[in-house]
Amino acid sequence: MIKRALKNINLLHSFECAARHQSYSKAAAELCISQAAVSQQMRQLEENLATQLFLRKSKSMLLTQQGKALLSGTQQAFKLLEKSINEITVEEIAGSLTISSTQAFTTLWLMPKLSDFSAQYPNINIRVMSSAQFEDLKEQHIDLAIRFGPRVKENTDSSLNCEYFGEDPVYPVCSEALTKKMDFKEPKDLLKTWLVSLENPGCYDWPSWFEHTNTQGYQEHQQWTEVHSTDMALNAVLNDHGFTLAARYLIIEQLKSGQLVMPINIPHPNVVKRYFVYDENSPKIARLNVFTNWLKQEMNATN
């Protein structure tokens, strides 16, 4: 009995969950398995222990006295196990983190604010990598990827967490100096100057914006400048070179200082969704949480 029960302790883990919820279907959801699996495991466990643990009562499961005793015991035991595993696997907060994101985000948002983070958390070293691709986190030893776009979740490996943390509109922006030379009152006025676009704009492309604003004639436009990343595009625009499309969070400071303006206040039809991609089972999870919480607060404060 005892030997047989201790031969498959995983059943006890499922039991703790089902007993806590007093519901197989809730346990199934928590354990990410089917209700039928839970039902069969509990049947197996009751058989192994030759003891009834649940009283079936219509749509819920009351616990027998034995069930209650076993719940108490298993909870204590698993708490000990979890604590023990934590002690040997989870790193303390002090240490290093490797962050990967787009060149635009790292250059325009993260690097300017990193000193704030480092002042607040001097024991956490941040290493920043920029890339336009979705690299393999494990291969590149990346602890956290900050990614943008509409398909991040679908393109993220199922073993990783993909945590949405907000979204921003995208607008056409140009320098204030340029508005002093030319009038921009409606969308079609943008066709009077250069339009800076990305090599791979994805769904944040100029044609979508023009269609969204019912602007005719953009197909015949000749003054296109194509660049590799948004920070390069913004660099060109800051030097009076026409318009580019940019997410508002990236240019908050330049909008405040007046360097950049949004003459046409019509957002792109597609918003930029932001995600953290990380492994929740990483030993660095404690440190990761510190960083992501700080970033989320900074993002909220400046938006």
Partner DNA sequence: TTATATTATAAGCATAGCTTATAGTTGTAG
Partner DNA sequence: CTACAACTATAAGCTATGCTTATAATATAA
Catalogue the E-assigned strands of 93-220: 95-101, 124-130, 144-148, 161-168, 170-175, 195-198
Considering only residues 133 to 152 of the shown chain, the ones binding DNA according to CB under 7 A are none
- Spatial contact of 93 and 287, defined as CB atoms under 8 Å apart: yes
Check binding of 81 to a second copy (CB under 8 A): yes
Q: Residue from 34, 44, 60, 89 that binds a second copy (CB under 8 A)?
A: 89
Q: Residue from 1, 58, 139, 214 that binds DNA (CB under 7 A)?
A: 58
Nearest to 201 by CA among 184, 219, 225: 225
Q: Residue from 36, 55, 69, 182 that binds a second copy (CB under 8 A)?
A: 69
Check binding of 158 to a second copy (CB under 8 A): no
Check binding of 48 to DNA (CB under 7 A): no
- Spatial contact of 129 and 142, defined as CB atoms under 8 Å apart: yes
- Spatial contact of 161 and 289, defined as CB atoms under 8 Å apart: no
Q: Residue from 5, 25, 77, 227 that binds DNA (CB under 7 A)?
A: 25
Q: Residue from 80, 94, 111, 177 that binds a second copy (CB under 8 A)?
A: 80
Specify the residue, 89 or 239, whose C-beta has the smaller distance to a second copy: 89
- Spatial contact of 299 and 165, defined as CB atoms under 8 Å apart: yes
Check binding of 180 to a second copy (CB under 8 A): no
**How many helices (DSSP H) and strands (DSSP E) are in the chain?**
12, 12
Alpha-helical (H) ranges within 50-135 are: 65-89, 103-104, 111-120
Considering only residues 246 to 285 of the shown chain, the ones binding a second copy according to CB under 8 A are 279-283, 285
Minimum distance, C-beta of residue 8 to DNA, in the bound complex (Å): 5
Check binding of 124 to DNA (CB under 7 A): no
Binding residues for DNA, rule: CB under 7 A, are 8, 10, 14, 23-26, 32-37, 39-44, 54, 56, 58-61
